[in-house]
Structure 1
Amino acid sequence: MDRDIDTKLKLEQYIAMRVKTRRTEQALKITDVARIAGLSQGMVSKIENAQVSTSLDTLGRLCDAIGLPISQLFSDYDRPTGSAQLTKAGQGMEVVRRGTEKGHTYQLLSYHRGKKTTLEPFLITMDDASEVFPTFSHPGEEFIYLLKGRILYRHGNHLYEMEPGDSLSFDAEIPHGPEQLLEVPIQLLSVIHYDDH
């Protein structure tokens, strides 16, 4: 199977990164490490800059000098790559949901489709202060975090006045939604988590 050489570090780069990180964590200078390992400063520098492929013997002496077991050096190299999804600002997929026609914009921030969707994060923008809003009820737990504006948010029979930095988490089966937009524009992050059974 071909490695993705654009995104995965080559072995020399990986070794360079781990060795340099460990040396600096130990507050050792290249001169100290070279002396302890019995290597030239030039060789240590080349290894740390991924300019040379080194023998296991040299690598073993270098690892001993910085207190990094050679088995630990390689422990993360062949770990399976993750499948993280980066969504750049303003590039979430716009979706139509109940409320879209009422001046709400929904941007789905992650649309990774695994075996089953268990998480849906939305960036919701609302800009019409006079609108009456529908209530929502759906499976799962929901977490909302207010980024901008002020809102009166309903969950069941309770009303919560929210300002930037406030968050609310709740059972999403219970009817919920904006009751009143107190200060627009409003921007909130909504994360819905579905049970995965």
Structure 2
Amino acid sequence: MASTDNKTLLRQKAMAARAEIRGHQRQVATARAAHHAFNRLKYTSGVVGLYEAFRDEIHPGEIAERLAQSGRKLALPSTPKIGQPLIFRAWAPGDPLVLGRMKIPEPSPEAEEVHPQVLLVPPVAFDRRGYRIGYGAGFYDRTIPQLRAMHPVFTLGYAFACQEVDHLPAEHHDVPLDAIATENEIITISGR
């Protein structure tokens, strides 16, 4: 089976598993994952690039609130044209958002452009080597190297444990994460 076909099947399986987490179970799992993620992110420095949850991704709202309360500067991405890296703009909880190209809320185009040193990344599926797949547009695989050309960047995947797969096919352009936070644990990627 070709790598693209395999990724498609793994993506569908992970999205189906993620969709099954609902109601109270989702609230508890999200709170536990946020606790793990915040405890890892408090040892980082610099602007934290977050995301607005799309479809039924785990929502980073609690992390955003806790980071803002601790004085961290935050940013959200603006979705560029396909084939381009994400553009991060300064944002804080409560700031107004506009609907972007993919109908995902994002900061106003007038908000200051920033270059985060930390990224919270929402994988659709991930493995313990730190590889992830998203929806297939490659935004993070273009954005992370661009930011790392400016300064060090720590990447933390943020997902439900059910999104883990045994092995993702890795291609030359795939950028592994440094760690992954789920409701069960922080997975630290060896060698990263």
Question: By the TM > 0.5 criterion, same fold?
Answer: no
TM bucket (normalised to shorter chain) is: under 0.3
| Structure with bigger gyration radius | 1
Determine which structure has the larger strand proportion and give its number. Answer: 1
What is the TM-score when the length of structure 2 is the normalising length? 0.22
What is the TM-score when the length of structure 1 is the normalising length? 0.21
Determine which structure has the larger helix proportion and give its number. Answer: 2
Higher relative contact order (CA 8 A, sep 6+): 2
